[in-house]
Amino acid sequence: MKNRTHPFLILVLLFVSHFSTNAQDLLKKLDKEHKDTPQYKIATFKTTRIGLGHSIETRKKGTLEISLYNRYWDKPNTQSQRFLADEVNTRYGLSYSFSNDFTVGFGYANFDKISDGFIKYKLVKQRVHDKKSPLSITLVQSLSHRKFDNANTNLYSPSSSENKYSFTTQALIARKFSPELSLQISPSFVYRASSNNNNNPNAQFAIGFGGRHKINTHTSIVSEYFYVVNPVKSIDTFNSFLIGINWEVSDLMLQFHLTNARNFAEDTFITETANNFNFKDPNLHFGFNATFILHTKKRTFK
């Protein structure tokens, strides 16, 4: 009996396989044909800044980013007649991507009169379906310059030069966990030639935590926090925090946020944020960033 049911089973199986190969499996055949070329994750973040600091993203070759970053805040106990906010700090920025992985940029902020420049290089790219490359890593080196008169005089020694510089080196490490969620950790090193009069460190270490969560296809909630390991001693500083919304409108990226950071240069917002994050004047800063993306090179089709 057992020996007789066996061939019937084979027959049934054959029928099934025969019909399925005819109908459905053209697409399955095509699935096998798809090439296994490595694919990289795109848009871990949609903007080259999460909010305060850089994100791992760089623009593609030949892209010019024109940016306008603003922070607005109120001054306490003043008879101000201003509409909206008493004070504003605006950074005018330009950056250009020489290759898909390498970007150079500079900017000038009008309130603290700091000029800054940076180079940014995408070192490692996260891959799709590949455990060998689960992360993206981008290196950023930035430099900021201010005249001694405009600098926080506690921090810089008056002696040598009128021109005061700070240097910030960052390794940005990010992973896109899902289409919605991306997280970034940014170990940062800030160097500044300090005044000899106090015990401020010349070299400061900080670590940044940032993330975005998409709430729909064009909008995401972002947050960032920088923890400073060895803060300066001569002035009270606080770790900078930001929460906001990033909104993509075609070639224009808009960012709205609340933060306690007033400055834009990396060294200043990481190590010199002089107010805590709360809703009292002048601690609360409303930020509005607009970035326009211009393609200087366009592909042509035959």
The 3-state DSSP class for residue 298 equals coil
Among the listed residues 26, 77, 162, 202, the single contact to another protein using CB under 8 A: 26
Is 9 near another protein (CB under 8 A)?
A: no
Near another protein by CB under 8 A, which window of 55-63, 101-109, 161-169, 221-229? 55-63
Over the Cα atoms of the chain, what is R_g?
26
Is 250 near another protein (CB under 8 A)?
A: yes
Is 203 near another protein (CB under 8 A)?
A: no
Q: Which residue has the tokens 């005044």?
A: 195
Distance CA 117, CA 143 (A): 5
Is 21 near another protein (CB under 8 A)?
A: yes
The 3-state DSSP class for residue 282 equals coil
Is 218 near another protein (CB under 8 A)?
A: yes
CB 221 within 8 A of CB 213: yes
- Residue 248 beta carbon to another protein: minimum distance, rounded to whole angstroms: 7
Near another protein by CB under 8 A, which window of 167-175, 202-210, 225-233, 293-301? 293-301
Closest CA to 98 of 301, 296, 302: 296
Which residue's CB is nearer to another protein, number 13 or number 229?
13
Is 217 near another protein (CB under 8 A)?
A: yes
Distance CA 259, CA 239 (A): 11
What are residue 244's phi and psi, to 5 degrees? -170, -175
- Residue 97 beta carbon to another protein: minimum distance, rounded to whole angstroms: 9
Amino acid code (one letter) for 94: L
Distance CA 223, CA 212 (A): 7
- Residue 14 beta carbon to another protein: minimum distance, rounded to whole angstroms: 5
Tokens of 219: 């909008």
The answer for residues whose C-beta is within 8 angstroms of residue 41's C-beta and 6 or more apart is: 125, 126, 127, 128, 136, 176
How many of the chain's residues bind another protein (CB under 8 A)? 39
Is 18 near another protein (CB under 8 A)?
A: yes
Q: Which residues pair with 120 in a beta bridge?
A: 103, 140
Distance CA 186, CA 174 (A): 8
- Residue 98 beta carbon to another protein: minimum distance, rounded to whole angstroms: 14
Is 27 near another protein (CB under 8 A)?
A: yes
Which residue's CB is nearer to another protein, number 17 or number 199?
17
Which residue's CB is nearer to another protein, number 83 or number 301?
301
Binding to another protein (CB under 8 A): which residues in 84-143? Answer: 128
Binding site for another protein (CB under 8 A): 7, 11, 14, 18, 21-23, 26-27, 29-31, 33-35, 39, 41-43, 46, 59-61, 63, 128, 179, 216-218, 248-251, 293, 295, 298-301
